[in-house]
Structure 1
Amino acid sequence: MNNVASILILVFLAISFLQSGYDKLFYWKDNVDWLKGHFAKTPLRNQVPLALANVLVLELISGILCIVGCIELLINNGREFGFYGAVFSCITLLMLLFGQRLAKDYDGARTIVIYFIPAVMAVYWLN
């Protein structure tokens, strides 16, 4: 087991993104309503459903790639799916960070940075 740290980070990212995607998918209206208020004073105010759909798709892709990456690491020490899962995770987090900064939600942006650090570590380790 040379890949324990990478597997743990990929599991962390998979749980984070798949749970978030599940929440967006099954509580769509609640999320859209809350985000419309969150982005009311930003250029995204009229694009909330589209932006949320984009984030949902990226979160699901990230989570699925991270799970497949874990399986690949366990089966044959392959790193390709895990690497792409980590990269998609970083892209998703950067989009979320951009939105939080645009909304001037600096505490929310700071929280995203906490997730971004292990995602970048995974990109580095799986590269």
Structure 2
Amino acid sequence: MLGTLAVAITIVLVIIVAGLMRIDNWSRDFTENSAAIDADFPDSVVLLDSRLQRWVAATPRWEVQSKTESDGAIEYKITRTTPLFRFVDDIHVKLVPDDGGEGTRMNASSQSRVGKGDLGQNPRNLAQLLEGLRTPDDAN
């Protein structure tokens, strides 16, 4: 019985330490539950749209909830679910053609549905999204 309790306590401590090690910004990650980015891509909206759809479909725990097209821009509502506690983050992505029509401007935000702080998950969501979209299609 005592050995089982020690193992359980050890497992809980390992989980806590692993979680704390993922915190990038201690002053931000306990008080913010959202993040936003803007990024420019040399690819057209159509190409980036296709890449986004394939990437989300291939990425575990990410799911497209809706897609809206208007005036050449495309907006997505995507969710990402955490593996352990099943918390859901809402990710909004807007793809807009740049002024020249050759490239794309992406505005993206990630918001936790619960909690006062996100422990850095929303910035990680956006970094993962950017990395996925910047990876060439033939590397996927």
TM-score scaled by structure 1?
0.30
Structure number with larger C-alpha Rg: 2
TM-score scaled by structure 2?
0.28
